[in-house]
């Protein structure tokens, strides 16, 4: 393994991207990294049909499944877990990234698509950890995500499993009406 760290953003709002992470301290993400590596075996990528929701159990609400469009120009959400829907205040199932995040700044939207594409093209897990912040007056707590490519033929990525975690208690507290009133 050859873990590589990339720091994104400015000093006040830095995100950390780790390509091919060696180990992960987040227990949910660690579970999925181990799962992905076990399913991959000696191949380049695990088979798409080797991802079995029953094997994920209680972690399924944190999962997003996305299928790439030709040449990885965009990705269509096949499944968006309930925790992820709560975080983003909506369900993008059946939509492309561009459709689901239509109001996002173009540079941020292209960055998101780049991240999915990079996991597929480089055929490696990518971890992204980013701080919380406000977008359009709504507070979003810090998050930690893992992007895992899968392939129907074991070689060419045609599915990305994203595990998106955040501090659920902080999320519930900061999204309450009283927390919103306190924050002005």
Over range 42-51, report the average pLDDT: 95
* Cα gap 130→183, rounded to integer Å: 21
pLDDT at 170: 53
CATH 3.30.450.20 applies to domain 4-183:
yes
Domain boundaries, the chain: 4-183
pLDDT at residue 181 tops 90: no
pLDDT at 101: 85
Strand (E) positions, the chain?
Answer: 4-8, 15-19, 63-68, 75-80, 126-130, 133-135, 138-140, 143-150, 159-166
* Mean pLDDT of the residues in the chain: 84
pLDDT at 168: 56
**Among the listed residues 35, 15, 13, 14, the one whose alpha carbon sits nearest the alpha carbon of residue 24:** 35
pLDDT at residue 43 tops 70: yes
pLDDT at 135: 59
Instruction: Name, in order, each residue with C-beta under 8 angstroms of 20's C-beta and a sequence gap of 6 or more.
Output: 1, 2, 3, 4, 124, 125, 126
In this predicted model, what pLDDT tens digit does every residue of 107-130 receive, in sequence order?
A: 888 988 999 999 999 999 999 998
In this predicted model, what pLDDT tens digit does every residue of 65-110 receive, in sequence order?
A: 999 999 999 999 999 999 888 877 788 999 999 999 887 788 888 9
Please report where in the chains the tokens 């983003």 appear, as a residue: 88
What single DSSP character describes residue 51?
-
pLDDT at residue 131 tops 50: yes
Q: Indicate the SS3 state at residue 139.
A: strand
Which pair of tokens denotes residue 100?
């689901």
């Amino acid at each position: 393994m050859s873990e590589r760290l990339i720091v994104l953003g400015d000093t006040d709002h830095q995100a950390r991207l780790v390509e091919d992470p060696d180990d992960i301290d987040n227990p949910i993400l660690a579970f999925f990294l181990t799962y992905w590596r076990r399913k991959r075996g000696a191949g380049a990528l695990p088979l798409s049909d080797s991802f079995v929701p029953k094997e994920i159990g209680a972690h399924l609400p944190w999962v997003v499944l996305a299928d790439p469009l030709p040449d990885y120009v965009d990705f269509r959400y096949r499944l968006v877990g309930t925790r992820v829907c709560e975080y983003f205040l909506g369900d993008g199932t059946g939509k492309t990234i561009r459709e689901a995040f239509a109001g996002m700044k173009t540079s941020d939207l292209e960055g998101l698509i780049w991240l999915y594409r990079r996991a597929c093209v480089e055929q490696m897990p990518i971890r992204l950890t980013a701080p919380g912040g406000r977008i359009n007056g709504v507070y979003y707590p810090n998050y930690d995500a893992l992007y895992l490519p899968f392939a129907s033929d074991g070689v060419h990525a045609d599915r990305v499993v994203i595990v998106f975690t955040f501090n659920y208690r902080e999320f519930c507290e900061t999204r309450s009406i009283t927390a919103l009133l306190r924050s002005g």
